[in-house]
Structure 1
Amino acid sequence: MADFDDLLTANRSFADSFSLSGFDGIARAGVAMVTCMDSRIDPLNMIGLKAGDAKILRNPGGRVTDQALVALVLGVNLLNVERILVVEHTRCAMATSSEDELKRRLGESSGRDAEWMTLGAIDDQRRTIEADVIRVKTHPLISDAVSVGGFLYDVDSGLLEPIV
């Protein structure tokens, strides 16, 4: 476990001032966000929230995958989610490379064939955001009363651009 010593030390410091003990896990601000796993994205801070306020779902490209949709359904129906943001971002590797290019790069890096994987490259971010918002809005277990918006986050300015 020595590879994790720095992180465990940081965790002990975090635990010293931990304030969410006993928290029931609802989204205090009623917000859920689906966004990319990119480390340039700070989901809570970018919308003025803090731990406990929102459900944050992250994956390559910030796509509303089947699993993300399950989490959103649970969030809406059981965890106080009333607003959902679908957030992709500028300069995303999933949107600046083709599926074939990503597979080639992955194969080169791993030394193994990656052709069998579906990685989910994004051809058109705006169209993808619109499609993912529609996917959320039309799900039978997500009420029409839930607000759903699609955004493009600029990793160089920190601004969210409303798309749909």
Structure 2
Amino acid sequence: MSTHNELIARNARFAATFDRGDMPILPQLRTLIVTCVDARVDPAHILGLDLGEAIVTRNNGGRVTKAVIEEIVTLTVLVGAATGGQESAFNIVLLQHTSCGAQRLADPQLQGMLQQKFGIDVSEYAITDQAADLMTDISRLANAPGMPDAMTVSAMLYDVATGAVQEVAPVKSLAEYRAANVDAAVPMAE
């Protein structure tokens, strides 16, 4: 059986007992998780999430990129419009992991090749020190226009060898992070 056919068969089993078609569009936990594309890192398994509880966005390294910021701001506006202007802030969880392939993006030769061949600059998203990189990502959120003060953010590091998460940054509102002046990190490139 091909992978495609296996996935279709798995969906048929899922759909046979599916009874949650009336779930609301807003995630029950009002949570948005930014994490890595790595197949070993599935927030539903790691954090015990159920269908409809959280929004998950993934990219190389689970970094806060310009695209991630644009997605969060857009979601905030859409949720605000859908709820008649009610509070539209999410709880943002930044979830990186050990043994991440994005650590290779710190290699100047790889950076040069990606820049030269494809015009892709990965230098500011390379993972060099996960705790510091997560704080940089919090800074990017705090300094991004359109992010509500009430938006909360926290950061965790998942250990792929043990299955445990370690809290790197506690839950705080962006207003608290702004007041603490987290803007010492590298600003987002245009």
Which bin holds the TM-score, normalised by the shorter protein? 0.7 to 0.9
**8 Å CA contact retained: 2:62, 2:94:** yes
- TM-score, structure 1 normalization: 0.80
Structure 1 position 159, deviation (Å): 1.7
Structure 1 position 57, deviation (Å): 0.5
Structure 1 position 155, deviation (Å): 0.9
Q: Which amino acid aligns with 2:31?
A: V
Between the two proteins, the alignment pairs up a number of residues equal to 157
**Kindly tell me: are residues 57 and 86 of structure 1, through their superposed partners in 2, closer, same or farther at Cα, counting changes over 3 Å?**
same
**Kindly tell me: are residues 152 and 81 of structure 1, through their superposed partners in 2, closer, same or farther at Cα, counting changes over 3 Å?**
same
Q: C-alpha distance in 2, partners of 1:82/1:116?
A: 33
**Kindly tell me: are residues 150 and 118 of structure 1, through their superposed partners in 2, closer, same or farther at Cα, counting changes over 3 Å?**
same
Q: C-alpha distance in 2, partners of 1:81/1:153?
A: 25
Q: Secondary structure in 2 aligned to 1:56?
A: strand
1:98 equivalent in alignment to 2:106: yes
Deviates more, 1:71-80 or 1:131-140: 71-80
- Provide the residue aligned with 1:44 in structure 2: 44
- TM-score, structure 2 normalization: 0.71
**Kindly tell me: are residues 144 and 101 of structure 1, through their superposed partners in 2, closer, same or farther at Cα, counting changes over 3 Å?**
same
Q: Which residue of 147, 160, 167 maps to 1:142?
A: 147
- Provide the residue aligned with 1:21 in structure 2: 21
Unaligned runs of 5+ in 1: 107-112
Structure 1 position 88, deviation (Å): 1.0
Q: C-alpha distance in 2, partners of 1:105/1:6?
A: 37
Percent identity between matched residues is 29
**Kindly tell me: are residues 104 and 20 of structure 1, through their superposed partners in 2, closer, same or farther at Cα, counting changes over 3 Å?**
farther
Q: C-alpha distance in 2, partners of 1:82/1:66?
A: 18
Q: C-alpha distance in 1, partners of 2:144/2:113?
A: 35
Deviation digits for residues 18-46 of structure 1 (CA, Å, limit 9, x no counterpart)? 23324342111111100001111120232
**8 Å CA contact retained: 2:89, 2:150:** no
Q: Secondary structure in 2 aligned to 1:149?
A: strand
- Identify the structure with bigger relative contact order (alpha carbons < 8 Å, sequence gap 6+): 1
Q: Which residue of 88, 93, 102 maps to 2:96?
A: 88
Q: C-alpha distance in 1, partners of 2:132/2:148?
A: 23
- Provide the residue aligned with 1:117 in structure 2: 120
Deviates more, 1:119-128 or 1:24-33: 119-128
Q: C-alpha distance in 1, partners of 2:24/2:107?
A: 40
Instruction: Provide the aligned C-alpha RMSD in A.
Output: 2.6
Deviates more, 1:5-14 or 1:132-141: 132-141
Q: C-alpha distance in 2, partners of 1:15/1:59?
A: 28
Structure 1 position 137, deviation (Å): 2.5
Q: Which residue of 166, 170, 176 maps to 1:161?
A: 166
**8 Å CA contact retained: 1:27, 1:81:** no
Q: Which amino acid aligns with 1:47?
A: L
Unaligned runs of 5+ in 2: 80-87, 170-190
Q: Secondary structure in 2 aligned to 1:28?
A: coil
